[in-house]
Amino acid sequence: MEFIFASGNAHKAEELGLLFKGSSFNIISAPESISVAETANNLYGNAEIKAQAYFQKYKRPTVADDSGLFVDALPDELGVMTARFGGETLTPLQRCELLVKRLEHEINRNAYFMCVLCFIVSPCEIFFFEGRLNGFIGKQIIGDQGFGYDPVFYPNDLKDGPLGARSLAQDVEYKMANSHRARAAGRARSFLTSFIARP
């Protein structure tokens, strides 16, 4: 089964395609990205808004992703607004720098990434899958193997012996197996495999 990915984000499209590699599902980029107003106040709502927009346009099975970084010390500033943290004009690196600065004097640096995947097979068959990765925001921006906030996000279970924690952008193999998107995709693969095999 082939799904159109409802996004113009090339990084996400590539990552999601790799996460479904070797399965019965093929994730392809949309022939053309479309502008979608993400007006929901949660990731589930925004993922469905995007999936519905692409499904209506292309009349084919569609998958959309909405992800966010949730930081305990800044409960109202990221989440669904993660991509716009600090303003529309900032680069990803500038957002990371701003986040580190905002937490400069914070003791509680706990955070988690959350991903929601919305699959639309048909108008009556809509499925959601969630994945989370717990960690904390580091005091340094380290690593070049990820994107977005990966260089400042340190998963709780990603250690490097005596050197301590590592950022998500320092270990691409760990990210592909354990990220919030990988966990959501794993749940989706398991369910959808059973779904399409039903009598």
| Active-site residue (options: 65, 66, 150, 171) | 66
Q: Token pair for residue 35?
A: 């502008």
How many other β-carbons are positioned within 10 Å of the β-carbon of residue 137? 24
For residue 66, indicate whether it is catalytic. Answer: yes
Q: Token pair for residue 61?
A: 């099975």
Q: Which of 74, 170, 99, 176 minimizes the C-alpha distance to 133?
A: 176
HEC per residue, 126-151: EEEEEEEEEEEECCCCCCCCCCCCHH
Q: Which residue is it, tokens 């093929």? A: 26
Q: Which of 15, 8, 140, 134 minimizes the C-alpha distance to 72?
A: 134
Buried b vs exposed e over 13-47: b needs ≥16 C-beta within 10 Å?
bebbeebbeeeebebebbeeeeebebeeeebebbb
| Active centre residues (catalytic) | 66
